[in-house]
Amino acid sequence: MIEIFIPDIVIVNGQIHTLDKQHDPFSEALGITGNRIMLVGLNREVEALAKGRTRVIDAKGRVVLPGFIDAHTHFAHMGIREGQLNLSDTKSKHEALSKIRGFSLNKASGEWVIGSGWDESHWSDSKEYMTKGELDAVAPNNPVLLRRVDGHLDCVNTRALEILNLRKDTIGYEIVDGVATGILKEDAVELAAKILEPSVEQFATGITTATKTAHRLGVTSIQDAQVDGRMLKAYRSLNQAGELNIRASLMPTTEYLDDLVTLGLGAGFGDDRLRLGPLKVFSDGSIGAGTAAISEPYLDNPDELGLLMWENEELENIVFKAHKNDIQLAIHAIGDRAIDLVLDCFEKANLQQKKDLRHRIEHAEMLSVKQITRMKEMKIIASMQPNFVGQWGLAGGMYDHRLGRERTMSMNPFASIVKSDLPLAFGSDCMPFDPLYGIHWAVNAPYPMQRMSPEQAFKAYTIGGAYASLEEDKKGSLEGGKLADLIMLDGDPFNDPSHIKDMSVDMTIFNGIVVHERG
Residues that bind Zn ion (CB under 5 A): 225, 429
Compute the distance between CA of residue 278 and CA of residue 72 in angstroms, rounded to an integer. 11
**Minimum CB–partner distance for residue 225 and Zn ion (Å):** 5
Q: Identify the CA nearest to 500 among candidates 430, 467, 451.
A: 451
Q: Which is nearer to Zn ion, 429 or 485 (CB)?
A: 429
The distance of closest approach from Cβ of residue 72 to Zn ion in the complex, given in angstroms and rounded to an integer, is 6
Distances, alpha carbon 514 to alpha carbons 8, 124, 199, 408, in Å: 11, 43, 31, 41
Please report how close the Cβ of residue 88 comes to Zn ion at its closest, in angstroms. Answer: 15
CB of 286 to Zn ion, least distance (A): 9
> In a 10 Å sphere around its CB, with 0-12 CB exposed, 13-18 middle and 19+ buried, how is residue 501 labelled?
middle
Q: Which is nearer to Zn ion, 225 or 334 (CB)?
A: 225
- Alpha-carbon distances of 162 from 13, 100, 143, 165, rounded to whole Å: 63, 19, 9, 5
Q: CB of residue 331 vs Zn ion: minimum separation in angstroms?
A: 12
- Is 393:445 a contact under the CB 8 Å cutoff? yes
Residue (392 or 510) nearer to Zn ion, CB: 392
Q: Which is nearer to Zn ion, 192 or 415 (CB)?
A: 192
For residue 413, is the peptide bond before it cis, meaning its omega torsion is within 30 degrees of 0? Answer: no
For residue 374, the cross-strand partners are none
- How far apart CA 363 and CA 507 sit, in angstroms, is 29
Report the nearest approach of Zn ion to the CB of residue 427 (Å): 8
Show Cβ contacts of residue 412 under 8 Å, excluding neighbours closer than 6 positions.
Answer: 365, 367, 384, 386, 388, 389, 393, 445, 450
- Minimum CB separation from Zn ion for residue 45, in Å? 43
Environment class of 118 (CB within 10 Å of its CB; exposed 0-12, middle 13-18, buried 19+): buried
**Pairing between strand 486-489 and 63-66?**
antiparallel
Report the nearest approach of Zn ion to the CB of residue 320 (Å). 24
Taking Cα atoms as reference points, which of 223, 346, 352 lies closest to residue 280?
223
Q: In the complex with Zn ion, which residue's Cβ is closer, 225 or 343?
A: 225
The number of CA neighbours under 13 Å toward the Cβ of 271 is: 8
Question: Minimum CB separation from Zn ion for residue 223, in Å?
Answer: 10
Encoded amino acid at 307, one letter: L
Identity of the residue, 77 or 337, whose beta carbon is nearer to Zn ion in the bound complex: 77
User: Which residue, 310 or 494, has its beta carbon nearer to Zn ion?
Assistant: 310
Looking at residue 2, the DSSP 8-state letter turns out to be G
Closer Cβ to Zn ion, 365 or 429, answer by number? 429
CB of 316 to Zn ion, least distance (A): 23
**Burial of residue 344 (number of CB atoms within 10 Å: 0-12, 13-18, 19+):** middle
Shortest gap between Cβ of 152 and Zn ion (angstroms)?
Answer: 9
SS3 of 129, please? Answer: coil
Give the sign of the dihedral formed by CA 224, CA 122, CA 291, CA 197. Answer: negative
For 389, the enclosing helix (H) or strand (E) is: helix 387-392
Work out how close the CB of 73 gets to Zn ion at its nearest, in angstroms, rounded to a whole number.
Answer: 8
Residue among 143 and 427 whose Cβ is closer to Zn ion: 427
Nearer to Zn ion, 286 or 511 (CB): 286
Specify whether the backbone of 183 is left (phi greater than 0), alpha (psi in -120 to 50) or beta.
Answer: beta
Q: Give the CB-nearest residue to Zn ion.
A: 429
Closer to Zn ion by Cβ: residue 362 or 400: 362
Closer residue to Zn ion (CB): 225 or 507: 225
